[in-house]
Chains A and B, each alone.
Chain A
Amino acid sequence: GIQVEQSPPDLILQEGANSTLRCNFSDSVNNLQWFHQNPWGQLINLFYIPSGTKQNGRLSATTVATERYSLLYISSSQTTDSGVYFCAVIEYGNKLVFGAGTILRVKS
């Protein structure tokens, strides 16, 4: 099956800093989602981004499907951005395959 790798595994930022999270996948995909998991375990949808670039406030994402990677940009980070960020690709049907996640800690 498809493999999803995320980097870095851990990231510590000072409030106000910018960051880039990367997601590599092993095979062609038609669909990709980014999630933020808060401390209570809830997975919050950030982007549905099979290709191209999208922006939502301080967050933006870019997927280059032909090169099998996606990037999540966080600008002017805030303490509330802390948590785990997952990318997931949709394998045959509707099955999401998740990466191991990036743990982000934003310090004030």
Chain B
Amino acid sequence: DAGVTQSPTHLIKTRGQHVTLRCSPISGHKSVSWYQQVLGQGPQFIFQYYEKEERGRGNFPDRFSARQFPNYSSELNVNALLLGDSALYLCASSLEVSGRPEQYFGPGTRLTVT
């Protein structure tokens, strides 16, 4: 079975631009979460979606938004990019949000803002 997939793998953008990152969860998983990892730190929670509804939001500005589609794939959008948005963006999927919410991560999208 395929794991979590993310696209693109790498991306270079200029300050002020907009970016869209994509994630496909493991087949059968209905929850998708997004994390940002800057160099030298652990991943930080951005959003969680379950059954197309936002279930949680981390401490990120409104420039960050996301959505989940009927097929449970997800997009993360970042507007008005800043240099500080340069990071590895990780997507994780899980079967559910209660019971056994074990999360599985994709390979990430490395975003560089110049």
A positions within 8 Å CB-CB of B: 4, 31, 33, 35, 40-43, 45, 48, 86, 88, 90, 92-101
In the complex, the answer to whether B107 meets A33 with C-beta atoms within 8 Å is no
Cβ < 8 Å to A, chain B residues 45-103: 45, 48, 50, 55-56, 58, 88, 90, 92, 94, 97, 100-103
Task: Return the contact of A94 from the options B88, B103, B110 (Cβ within 8 A).
Answer: B103
Given A48-B100, A93-B56, A94-B97, A42-B48 contact (CB < 8 Å): no
In the complex, the answer to whether A94 meets B107 with C-beta atoms within 8 Å is no
Which 6 residue pairs across A and B have the least CB separation, nearest first? Answer: A98-B42, A43-B105, A48-B102, A94-B97, A94-B101, A95-B45
Name the distance in Å between B43's Cβ and chain A's nearest Cβ. 5
Residues of A within 8 A of B48 (CB): 93-95
Bound form: Cα–Cα A94–B33 in Å:
8
Bound form: Cα–Cα A4–B45 in Å:
14
B positions within 8 Å CB-CB of A: 31, 33, 35, 37, 41-45, 48, 50, 55-56, 58, 88, 90, 92, 94, 97, 100-105, 107-108, 110
Task: Return the contact of B56 from the options A45, A88, A94 (Cβ within 8 A).
Answer: A94
Name the distance in Å between B92's Cβ and chain A's nearest Cβ. 7
Name the distance in Å between B24's Cβ and chain A's nearest Cβ. 16
Name the distance in Å between B111's Cβ and chain A's nearest Cβ. 12
In the complex, the answer to whether B56 meets A95 with C-beta atoms within 8 Å is yes
Task: Return the contact of A100 from the options B41, B92, B102 (Cβ within 8 A).
Answer: B41
Bound form: Cα–Cα A45–B102 in Å:
9
Bound form: Cα–Cα A90–B100 in Å:
11
Residues of B within 8 A of A88 (CB): 42-43
Select from chain B the residue with minimum beta-carbon distance to A90: B101
Name the distance in Å between A69's Cβ and chain B's nearest Cβ. 17
Task: Return the contact of A101 from the options B42, B103, B110 (Cβ within 8 A).
Answer: B42
